[in-house]
């Protein structure tokens, strides 16, 4: 069974009174455990597609199924439950809570899920160790570099064992060395936990890491290539 199935997905935005087709009949299937990059120039529809897969935005028409859940027929409360329990998000701007420590940021999703405090602490510290942040548990975002903040964001996205992680331009604010290190961590998590990763990106390095590259142009799939190895 596919982890993500999009069928004839369309999305139109109004911009200065003009209808802009963000997605124009996108059909694709992504299997569990894939490591996929959705690429394309600005305005190609890649972030819109990611947001629709994550239930952050809705399609105007078409069908979206994520881990067996038909998003197009779900209520907002059901979508919120799906995002909390099934989907991990990594954003370009990190989206960490400034007043919380690295550990508390990672624990936050588990707190919402009702995980007991002792288990939250243990799992948060273990995942921070996995992303090379051992000993930085108590540092707040302002005390961390951009790369370290993004590692916290990655740890937060994966700690609750989601079915899928959606990463929107995760390397955009990082230098190439830090970006490569972060991608390596996500690749290892993908292989170790079989979590499906989908990136939206215009970064060639992310495209090179991906084992499948989907190119969007003007809201349509221009190319879909699976790489060997």
We report the CATH number of the domain holding residue 150 as: 3.40.50.300
Residue 21: per-residue pLDDT: 87
How many folded domains does the chain comprise? 1
pLDDT of residue 112: 92
Q: What element of type H or E holds 69?
A: strand 69-70
Q: What are the pLDDT digits (tens) for 134-185?
A: 999 999 999 999 889 988 998 998 888 899 999 998 888 888 888 888 898 8
Q: Which stretches of the chain drop beneath a pLDDT of 70? A: 228-229
Instruction: Residue 222: give the domain boundaries.
Output: 2-226
The two tokens of residue 136 are: 């930085």
Name the pairing type of β-strands 2-15 and 212-217: unpaired
Give pLDDT, residue 113. 92
Please state, in angstroms and as integers, the Cα–Cα distance from residue 88 to each residue in 165, 219, 226, following that order: 4, 24, 23
């Amino acid at each position: 069974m596919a982890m993500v199935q999009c069928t004839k997905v369309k999305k139109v935005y109004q911009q200065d009174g003009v209808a802009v087709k963000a997605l124009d009949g996108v059909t694709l299937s992504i299997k569990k455990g894939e490591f996929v990059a959705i690429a394309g120039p600005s305005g190609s529809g890649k972030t819109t597609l990611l947001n629709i897969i994550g239930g952050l935005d809705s399609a105007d028409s078409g069908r979206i199924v994520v881990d067996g859940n038909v998003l197009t027929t779900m209520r907002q409360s059901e979508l919120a439950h799906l995002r909390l329990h099934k989907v991990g998000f990594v954003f370009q701007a990190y989206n960490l809570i400034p007043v919380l420590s690295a550990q508390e940021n990672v624990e936050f999703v588990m707190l919402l899920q009702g995980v007991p405090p002792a288990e939250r602490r243990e799992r948060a510290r273990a995942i921070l160790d996995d992303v090379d942040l051992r000993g930085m548990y108590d540092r707040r975002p302002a005390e961390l570099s951009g790369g370290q903040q993004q590692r916290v964001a990655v740890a937060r996205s994966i700690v609750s064992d989601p079915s899928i992680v959606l990463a929107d331009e995760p390397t955009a604010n990082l230098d190439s060395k830090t970006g490569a290190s972060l991608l390596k961590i996500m690749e290892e998590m993908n292989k170790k936990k079989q979590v499906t990763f989908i990136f939206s990106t215009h970064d060639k390095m992310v495209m090179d890491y991906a084992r499948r590259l989907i190119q969007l142009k003007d809201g349509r799939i221009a190319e879909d290539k699976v790489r060997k190895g």
